[in-house]
Amino acid sequence: ETGVTQSPTHLIKTRGQQVTLRCSSQSGHNTVSWYQQALGQGPQFIFQYYREEENGRGNFPPRFSGLQFPNYSSELNVNALELDDSALYLCASSTGGQVNTGELFFGEGSRLTVL
Amino acid sequence: QKEVEQDPGPLSVPEGAIVSLNCTYSNSAFQYFMWYRQYSRKGPELLMYTYSSGNKEDGRFTAQVDKSSKYISLFIRDSQPSDSATYLCARNSQGGSEKLVFGKGTKLTVNP
């Protein structure tokens, strides 16, 4: 098991609400990436944080935002929830220096259901 | 056109079979290709990565990249029930970010 922990594991929200998901990265890792995995799909890159700054963003609207804290933990915030936001949200940490090998350490994810 | 195409299966094989999982990609500019394994209700874990073309072997697993045909393969020898999972192929991005582009994943079941 990786040292990446995510909370909450499951949550249910209604359309229009806001949600905050949390991630603690593996010890020694300074880079956190967030991915969205819809049912039956592969993970899609949302954004990455390196040393508390956003460092790359995928094709997601501004209502998806994030933060990284000095201890390298991270939050993903989604405003104005839509039904299509229902998915497994995965946090992955890495050292930043192993970028090209694609070695990310994923948490078990937060499963969000939007009704 | 999706950047990484992967047949979602499902694929069901008997224990001991050789499994072949495949992906195609559209942009030949990228160099690193990975295979992740995802058990049910878990996050993906990196199995192997390969650089450019060629083969890479790790125990019962062999990853192969053919850049001329833009084809990525993962072979599993002597498959075991514990190999039952979804297998995701991925490639890295230019610029060195941790942005990986994943295929849809192939769900594999190995029957005892």
Tell me the average pLDDT across A8-23.
97
- Per-residue model confidence (pLDDT) at position A69: 93
- CA dihedral (A30, A46, B108, B59) in degrees, to 10, reads -30
Residue B77 has pLDDT above 90, yes or no: yes
**Which candidate in A106, A108, A111 is best for mutational testing of the B interface (most B CBs within 10 A)?**
A106
* Model confidence band, residue B69 (pLDDT cutoffs 50, 70, 90): confident
Selecting from B8, B41, B92 the residue whose C-beta is nearest the C-beta of A102 gives: B92
Across A6-10, A91-95, B1-5, B78-82, least confident range: B1-5
Does residue B1 register a pLDDT over 70?
A: no
Look at residue B27 in the predicted model and tell me its pLDDT.
Answer: 78
pLDDT (average), residues A69-98? 91
Q: Is the Cβ–Cβ distance between A86 and A112 less than 8 Å?
A: yes
Measured in degrees and rounded to the nearest 5, phi and psi for residue A84 equal -70, -10
Query: Positive or negative, the Cα torsion across A45, A102, B36, B23?
Result: positive
In the predicted structure, residue B95 carries a pLDDT above the cut 60: no
Per-residue pLDDT tens over the stretch B32-60: 889 999 999 899 999 998 887 788 999 99
Measured between beta carbons, the chain A residues lying within 8 angstroms of B45 are 2, 106
Which A positions 51-80 lie with beta carbon below 8 A of chain B?
55-56, 58
Measured distance CA(A106)–CA(A90) in Å, rounded: 7
Look over chain B and give the mean of its residue pLDDT values, rounded to a whole number.
Answer: 89
Look up residue A13 and give its amino acid.
Answer: K
* pLDDT over threshold 60, residue B24: yes
Q: Is B42 on the interface with A (CB under 8 A)?
A: yes
B46 vs A: CB within 8 A: yes
